[in-house]
Amino acid sequence: MNPESPSEPTREELIALIKAQAAEIAALKARIAELERRLGLNSSNSGKPPSSDGLKKPPRVTSLREPSDKPSGGQKGHKGETLRQVAEPDRVVDHYPPACTACSAAVTPAMSAGHSARQVFDLPEPTPLVVTEHRAHDCRCTGCGARSRASFPDEVKAPVQYGPRIAAVVIYLLHYQLLPEDRLAELMADLFGIRLVAATIARMSRTCAARLQDFVTAVRDLVAGAPVKHMDETGFRIGGQTQWLHVACTAWLTFYRVCARRGSLLADVVGIVVHDHWKPYYTMPGVLHALCNAHHLRELKALVEIEKEDWARKMQQLLRRACHAANLARERGIALNTLRPRLHAQIERRYDAILAQGLAFHQAQSPLAPAATKGKSQRRGRKPRRTGHNLLLRLANRKQDVLRFLNDLAVPFTNNQAERDARMMKVKQKISGGFRCIAGATDFATIRSFIATAKKQGWNVIQAIAQEPKVLVNSLRIA
């Protein structure tokens, strides 16, 4: 018995099948284009960190900065640093010729008729620790016979303990130079003959963080109230889970804090916030915004290199030239819109014209196919847009925030200040792999806030750690 032959599909079924296949092909093409775009991204044309480039790191043959007519290297008037001889050396070693070069007669120091000098700068020989014994005496009054005992200083709390200088050096190496605890203990033993264990290092860290808490709180309030501040956030591994380290800083101050949620933003902030267009920053009440144009230049570079969009190349050039013009105006202490209003208006007109060109280009493109879903229900939300289209809308809707550096001397072109302050925190994570508990991460953020601020203030970090924090708060510079 012959099996029944399958029925031929109808014309309507074939048309529906072809439409379904065409939609699937379009979605797959869009997916392939997106994957190819991801392969073309690197640290120079996206927000990816340089460490993600791996061994295929592209050669850096171009820079995001506009070329200038200045020669490379130190500029005229730059104060260099070099080793110079001192007038009074700590030690003098005299060298005399063994004999007269003419008659071979013996030569004595009394025959010296002058000398030439060369100086060698070196470290002194390591010396043993200085042990200070504090003695609290009992005294008997000769009048009434009562006994009185003296009190030990507040900082002397145990029969045997390390002093503030050793603690300052340990904190400096642990939290600024980011040495792991085992290598730190080895270094202290090799240089100073001090045998430290991990528990002692951890106790020094906790004690220092508690002592600096009021100082860091004052820094937090100063940053929040500054006219312009930079903000950023980065993932932090704590107890095997991803939490968040938030950075808020100025040119003079740095404040770090650890949060379980990325969206837990700093409270009571006023003034202008410079950031990278992460949308929750726009939920902060009572502040103005300035966007990081270094991010924009990287995104535009990707559009030029991968999508070959001409408007992106023009916008790239305009932003670079606007940055150069704003820097020249800033050197004269006047904002560009005040110093050269016609140039400022020309930049804005050119900005609008490039946006109009880019939007017209994307509106003429065929719409993207929606991403394939497992079910048959239609995907909710806005229709998908190309990367360049999204960037155009951001530049158009946030024009004032993009170009705020032209109108305000205090607003920089980029958010590099926050990025620099966050960079070493990622180095810490790469070295240590993360923190075991939230308390250790919080102590690190507190101490690192103090150290980063001390470096910006021009203080010697080790000396600052050993000083009284209340004294240092009163000497903080904020502008």
Long-range CB pairs of 392-395, under 8 A, 24+ apart, other chains included: 392/311, 392/355, 392/358, 392/359, 392/362, 394/277, 395/296, 395/315, 395/351, 395/355
Please give the Cα distance from 26 to 186 (Å, whole number). Answer: 62
Banded pLDDT at 382 (limits 50, 70, 90)? confident
55-100 pLDDT, tens digit per residue, is 666 666 555 565 667 777 777 777 777 889 999 999 999 999 989 8
Query: Residue 12: enclosing H or E segment and its boundaries?
Result: helix 11-40
156-189 pLDDT, tens digit per residue, is 989 999 999 999 999 999 999 999 999 999 999 9
Query: What confidence score (pLDDT) does residue 424 get?
Result: 87
pLDDT over 90 (residue 29) = no
Average pLDDT, rounded, for the chain: 88
CB contact at 8 A, 391 and 361? no
Please give the Cα distance from 308 to 286 (Å, whole number). Answer: 40
- Beta-ladder partners of 287: 271
Query: What confidence score (pLDDT) does residue 1 get?
Result: 45
Banded pLDDT at 337 (limits 50, 70, 90)? confident
Which residue in this structure is represented by tokens 């070493």? 424
Backbone dihedral region of 460: left (phi > 0), alpha (psi from -120 to 50 degrees) or beta? Answer: beta
CA proximity to 162, closest of 124, 125, 215, 205? 205
CB contact at 8 A, 230 and 417? yes
pTM beyond 0.75, yes or no: yes
274-287 pLDDT, tens digit per residue, is 999 999 999 999 99
CA proximity to 391, closest of 287, 317, 316, 283? 316
